[in-house]
Structure 1
């Protein structure tokens, strides 16, 4: 059995106001061609299919066309789950009749306990959930109600969920899990979150590989780089497109998909790279260097997007210069422009921050510190987290 593992499509995403839909369509065409070339037995999409709970009409139309090409025109089975960005309820629409064409889509916790059976494996599909989802699910199914009320951490909830999955294991098959969380290699070890979420809402950063030790292989979504994979058997495919400057800064970490082969010899993985239609280039140089023809002629000007930081820049020397216009003459599209070490100001860094690229919790924290010149207290952070947890549940 051969599966293509991808995740975090975030269809409908924008970058500083620029739509990434054409980039996502370009990446999709490559993913589909890889699936054809490799003759895979199915395509796994491990969550965050859409970028937001209520996607735009353009995003819905684009994704529908992608699914149509994969499943109806090319007859590839789809194994997909919802992530923390998706609306579980909205995405679940039509799930029953889609299975008639081998389109398997799980968005609710209760759906995760029935595996997809193949000749070689049992595929369990566990969508993103939080401890409250687990308490609601188990409250109706166990006699010990008090123990369920104590189910407050995602780690404890996950252990209970996995233990119930293990009860369904068949000993003559491999056991594959598709899910969407941040997972570290061992307890109490943090991993760098290069996804859009850098907070710990819903326990996103508290799971470890120990939670999944019963599975032969785990196909993960949520972290946007495959290099965050915590073990050889718990793997992130990464996103197919660069979504922010932080990802663009990560050199030699190109986007792609994994081809996972399951046979009698075990489970093997092969990375297949994707080529961006419009690359995102990060430049951090002085104004003089950026305007030097010898320098900018070496860049993919007018063919890529640029995120530029002007270093050691004295604004007082260029009061009549439209710096963005001057840079766009030379480079083309500048999607982000920052300045460092501006003269005649007490601030060491003034940046045009795109709040769509940081979590809501971090936005509140930055605003609070800007206004009060003090960081949020522990109690205040817990309050902010609880508010956004509630908002996220209401949007599902």
Structure 2
């Protein structure tokens, strides 16, 4: 069995107001060409299919055309899961009848406990979920109340989920997992690699490789570079097919592409297949004199790429119409920043709101108003309210 592993399409993404749909369509054409040339038996999309929970009309139309090309025109199975950017309930529409054309789509935790059975492997599809989803699910399964209330972190939830998945293992088949989380080596390490929310993976709530030891291969989504893969042989991030921000434009994040994963009775192997950007994103960080020096800028792909430029040692009082001057030289500039001589930048910023779990968000708001953290009783009340709200969705 041969599968193409891709992830983090983020259909509908923009870059500082510039639509990336044309770039995403161009990347998809290459993905499709690779799939056909390699004669794959299916395509895996490991989460973050859309860029937002309520995608635009153009994004929906674009994804619909892509899925039809794969599944209807070329009759290839699709194994797709929801990521943290996807609206799980909205994306879930039609999943039961889509499965009749071999378009398998899991967006809710409850759906993860029915693996896809092939002659060679069991494919487990575990979408992104948070601890509240797990509390709701296990409460419905009749787990004792005290054990449900003990689910506070993603590690608490994942340990329960993986224990239940392992009960479904067929010892005569390869076990493949598709999921969408931050996974790091077991060692307490901080990887300086990019995700869609932060440049410090170690700053996120992470899972560790040892939790997935009983799977033969894990296809990951969530981190946008394959260089973040926590186990080069057994656990792989596909990375995003398009560069989405300046961090991904840096040289060490070059190399967008997909993995071709071959599963046999004896082994699982993979081969990386590169994707060439239609319009590259180039990040430059230089002082003003360097940026306007022909000896420097003539070495750049002028009028062929998008540029994200940071002007260092910048004296604002000496320069006017900086963007206009640079655009005359470089063409499209999607981002322009300055580092003044008198200031320095601090990359250790406070956690973004979209990185906080719902209970953390409530606690942070409570602290900002009262100066105190939630008490144990208050925290339990918040937990129960959040569970009740999730049930109503």
Q: Is TM (by shorter chain) over 0.5?
A: yes
Deviations 1:83-121 (A, max 9, x none): 000000000000011011100000011100000000100
Residue 204 of structure 1 deviates from its aligned partner by 5.4
Q: Distance in 2 between matches of 1:121 and 1:164?
A: 18
**SS of alignment partner, residue 124 of structure 1:** strand
Deviations 1:216-263 (A, max 9, x none): 000000000101110121110100001000111143631000000001
Whether the aligned pair in 2 keeps the contact of 1:191 and 1:228 (CA below 8 Å) is yes
Report the equivalent of 1:347. Answer: 343
Query: What is the aligned residue count?
Result: 371
**SS of alignment partner, residue 68 of structure 1:** helix
Q: Distance in 1 between matches of 2:273 and 2:353?
A: 27
**SS of alignment partner, residue 314 of structure 2:** coil
Report the equivalent of 1:245. Answer: 246
Matches within 5 A, 1:22-171: 22-171=22-171
Q: Is the alpha carbon distance of 1:143 and 1:5 closer, same or farther for their aligned partners in structure 2, counting shifts above 3 Å?
A: closer
Residue 147 of structure 1 deviates from its aligned partner by 1.3
For the aligned residue pairs, the C-alpha RMSD in angstroms reads 3.3
Whether the aligned pair in 1 keeps the contact of 2:174 and 2:265 (CA below 8 Å) is no
Report the equivalent of 2:209. Answer: 209
Whether the aligned pair in 2 keeps the contact of 1:196 and 1:359 (CA below 8 Å) is no
Residue 357 of structure 1 deviates from its aligned partner by 12
Worse-superposed segment, 105-114 or 243-252:
243-252
Q: Is the alpha carbon distance of 1:357 and 1:235 closer, same or farther for their aligned partners in structure 2, counting shifts above 3 Å?
A: farther
Q: Is the alpha carbon distance of 1:324 and 1:34 closer, same or farther for their aligned partners in structure 2, counting shifts above 3 Å?
A: same
**SS of alignment partner, residue 271 of structure 2:** strand
Q: Is the alpha carbon distance of 1:213 and 1:168 closer, same or farther for their aligned partners in structure 2, counting shifts above 3 Å?
A: same
Residue 339 of structure 1 deviates from its aligned partner by 1.3
Whether the aligned pair in 2 keeps the contact of 1:53 and 1:395 (CA below 8 Å) is no
Give unmatched runs, 5+ long, in structure 1: none
Deviations 1:156-201 (A, max 9, x none): 2111111111111111100000000000110533333511223999
Residue 356 of structure 1 deviates from its aligned partner by 10
Residue 141 of structure 1 deviates from its aligned partner by 1.4
Report the equivalent of 1:234. Answer: 235
Worse-superposed segment, 332-341 or 24-33:
332-341
Deviations 1:110-134 (A, max 9, x none): 1000000001000000000011111
Q: Is the alpha carbon distance of 1:393 and 1:311 closer, same or farther for their aligned partners in structure 2, counting shifts above 3 Å?
A: farther
Whether the aligned pair in 2 keeps the contact of 1:183 and 1:205 (CA below 8 Å) is no
Q: Distance in 1 between matches of 2:288 and 2:391?
A: 47
Q: Distance in 1 between matches of 2:318 and 2:391?
A: 51
**SS of alignment partner, residue 176 of structure 2:** strand
Whether the aligned pair in 1 keeps the contact of 2:284 and 2:308 (CA below 8 Å) is yes
Q: Is the alpha carbon distance of 1:81 and 1:200 closer, same or farther for their aligned partners in structure 2, counting shifts above 3 Å?
A: farther
Report the equivalent of 1:262. Answer: 263
Whether the aligned pair in 2 keeps the contact of 1:196 and 1:358 (CA below 8 Å) is no
Q: Distance in 2 between matches of 1:25 and 1:314?
A: 41
Whether the aligned pair in 2 keeps the contact of 1:341 and 1:349 (CA below 8 Å) is no
Q: Is the alpha carbon distance of 1:282 and 1:195 closer, same or farther for their aligned partners in structure 2, counting shifts above 3 Å?
A: same
Q: Please give the TM-score of this superposition, normalised by the length of structure 1.
A: 0.86
Q: Is the alpha carbon distance of 1:254 and 1:393 closer, same or farther for their aligned partners in structure 2, counting shifts above 3 Å?
A: farther
Report the equivalent of 1:284. Answer: 285
